[in-house]
Amino acid sequence: SQQGEEDPQALSIQEGENATMNCSYKTSINNLQWYRQNSGRGLVHLILIRSNEREKHSGRLRVTLDTSKKSSSLLITASRAADTASYFCATDADQGAQKLVFGQGTRLTINP
């Protein structure tokens, strides 16, 4: 079963607006990562947030982590058409096993 669940499944906004995607997970984690995938391509790592961190920034990206609610959010500010892609969260769900488990993803469309 999937560890992470992204919400919403699809999001369509106008260029320049902010996009927020959420991820919920089930078990305790060491870290949570966000990845981006352009259609049919390999995933590209965006940002990693550790379980003892609450917020992290990278350029136009802002990630928050709430371990008490087992949830994370990814905010993309001032969106651009080039941000159109699918976004996935991933968790290392099992200590020791270190497997990286992905959610179903949010498909983001930025309209010019």
Partner 1 sequence: DSGVTQTPKHLITATGQRVTLRCSPRSGDLSVYWYQQSLDQGLQFLIQYYNGEERAKGNILERFSAQQFPDLHSELNLSSLELGDSALYFCASTPGGGAEAFFGQGTRLTVV
What residues line the site for partner 1 (CB under 8 A)? Answer: 2, 30-31, 33, 35, 40-45, 48, 88, 90, 92, 94, 97-105
For the CB of residue 87, give the shortest distance to partner 1 in the complex, in Å. Answer: 11
Peptide bond before residue 112 is cis, with ω within 30 degrees of 0: no
Q: Which two tokens stand for residue 22?
A: 């959420």
For the CB of residue 83, give the shortest distance to partner 1 in the complex, in Å. Answer: 19
How distant is the alpha carbon of residue 25 from its chain centre? 12
Residues 102, 108 contacting (CB under 8 angstroms): no
Choice between 15 and 94, CB closer to partner 1: 94
Choice between 33 and 79, CB closer to partner 1: 33
Residues 46, 58 contacting (CB under 8 angstroms): yes
For the CB of residue 46, give the shortest distance to partner 1 in the complex, in Å. Answer: 9
* Cα(56)–Cα(49) distance, integer angstroms: 7
For the CB of residue 42, give the shortest distance to partner 1 in the complex, in Å. Answer: 4
Choice between 8 and 16, CB closer to partner 1: 8
